Amino acid sequence: MHKIGFIGVGIMGKSMVRNLMKAGFELHIFARTRAKVEDVVSEGAIFHESIKDCVEGCEAVITIVGFPQDVEEVYFDTGNILDSAKEGAYLIDMTTTSPMLAEKIWEDGNKRGFHVLDAPVTGGDTGAKAGTLSILVGGKKEDYQVCMPLFEAMGTNINYQGEAGCGQHAKLANQIMIAGTLSGVCEALTYAKAKGLDLQVLLDSVSTGAAGSRQLDTFGPKLLAGDFAPGFFMKHFIKDMKLALTGANMSGLCLDVLSQVLANYEELAAEGYGDLGTQALMKYYEETMDDGEDEASH
């Protein structure tokens, strides 16, 4: 396996393309705006004006796009992946999307002679740059094993989750954990600030104890600095939480924490913060503090 098509060269995808090229793969990429990918083109990626041209003749095609409707478009629209990839190619969707959509791609792709895997990732832009992503794979186990060299170029914690759609279910479970943990970090910092604590001293004090977490380590310093730049867009996290809540409802589950965190994020998105990073959840609590201070002054 040498010639790889890659669609979705964004915050995550660009670093993944670079790491695949470092591992010796030939990368063919498609992006709607060439100017946004000129840096990786100058580094050796081969740009194509259409998805059809990008995937033709590739032994594997990797996609990591924004939303389920984008996944539908790149796979199912006339002239796109399922119509254009060569028979027997490995089709790997690394977008976080609907498990039902992953099953649909697998069923349709399998009928056409493709090897289909759903392989969403976690680790953010930092993990993508370092090549240390966690990769959660669903599909046939033998296909997972064949694609291991691709996965190893992009990640270090690579695990087979089960049949088609199981990679997506695993990623949604991951997002449920993040939702609760990041919300807890923001609430704790809000409480500490209201009580007049030195927030840096607090972080230094609790980060190595039972309250320590990857979310605290990653976002604690950014929150103290007021840095809300996206490593992962809030609007994409909202999409993930909605998918998780849909899956929970289908199984008759009541996930109260997830529901509340989603509501908080949707309120922020409605205020125009959707293109900030997930750590901008702190703005919700800052606004709550401001409201409390205003009421106290009256």
Whether residue 45 contacts residue 16, with contact meaning beta carbons closer than 8 Å, is answered with no
With H, G, I as helix, E, B as strand and everything else as coil, classify residue 6: strand
pLDDT of res. 231: 85
Contact 107, 254 (CB under 8 A): no
Q: What confidence score (pLDDT) does residue 298 get?
A: 45
Q: Position 207: which residue type?
A: S
pLDDT of residue 295: 53
What's the predicted TM-score (pTM) here? Answer: 0.92
Per-run averaged pLDDT (10 residues), the chain, 298 residues: 95 96 98 93 97 97 95 95 96 97 97 97 92 98 98 98 98 96 96 96 96 94 95 92 96 96 96 95 85 53
The predicted structure's pLDDT at residue 2: 95
* pLDDT given for residue 124 in this prediction: 86
pLDDT at 288: 75
From 3, 104, 129, 171, the catalytic residue = 171
Long-range contact pairs involving 267-275 (C-beta distance under 8 Å, separation at least 24): 268/234, 269/234, 269/235, 269/238, 273/228, 273/234, 274/233, 274/234, 274/235, 274/238, 275/230, 275/233, 275/234, 275/235
**Is 22 an active-site residue?**
no
Distances (CA, A) of 89 to 3, 36, 46, 113, 147: 10, 27, 19, 8, 11
What is the pLDDT, as a whole number, of residue 21?
Answer: 98
Quote the CA–CA distance of 189 and 200 in Å, as a whole number.
10
